[in-house]
Amino acid sequence: MAIQYWRIRDRYYRLIGSRCGACGSEFFPPVYRCKKCGSEDIADREMPRTGKILTHTLLHEPLPGFEALAPFYLAVVKLDNGAKVLTQIVDSPPDAVKSGAKVRAVVRRAKVDGDSGQIFYGYKFVVE
């Protein structure tokens, strides 16, 4: 688990997604085949770190491993390039978390591995 995390951690820190060489669509998380045109001409692409909240919900019973964070806002953010990210909204007043709110990506502690004590970081978003 830890080795795999370190191998792919760039993707968490830098929001690496995909860009289709045929139609120009961008996706996050990365894809191997374009969801719009089906092309396999796909390259890594760093995503913009800003976007807007499309939809959100306040989670009281998150997935196993994330209980300590509850309750928290889970949102679908549409990045400025059109790619969509499922993410946590943090450090924002509750009345600011709403559809259309402008957000930007930040790096925050995501979870602590109980066995090793290793701290995992990942991207989350804050309302601007």
Is there binding between residue 20 and Zn ion (CB under 5 A)? Answer: yes
Q: How far is the CB of 90 from Zn ion (least distance, A)?
A: 33
71 with 61: CB under 8 angstroms?
no
Query: Contacts with Zn ion in 38-67 (CB under 5 A)?
Result: 39
Q: Does 118 contact Zn ion by CB under 5 A? A: no
Q: Which stretch binds Zn ion (CB under 5 A): 22-30, 70-78, 80-88, 113-121?
A: 22-30
Q: Taking a C-beta distance cutoff of 8 angstroms, is the pair 82, 26 a contact?
A: yes
Distance CA 107, CA 90 (A): 10
Stretch that binds Zn ion, among 8-16, 29-37, 54-62, 112-120 (CB under 5 A): 29-37
What letter would DSSP give residue 107?
Answer: E
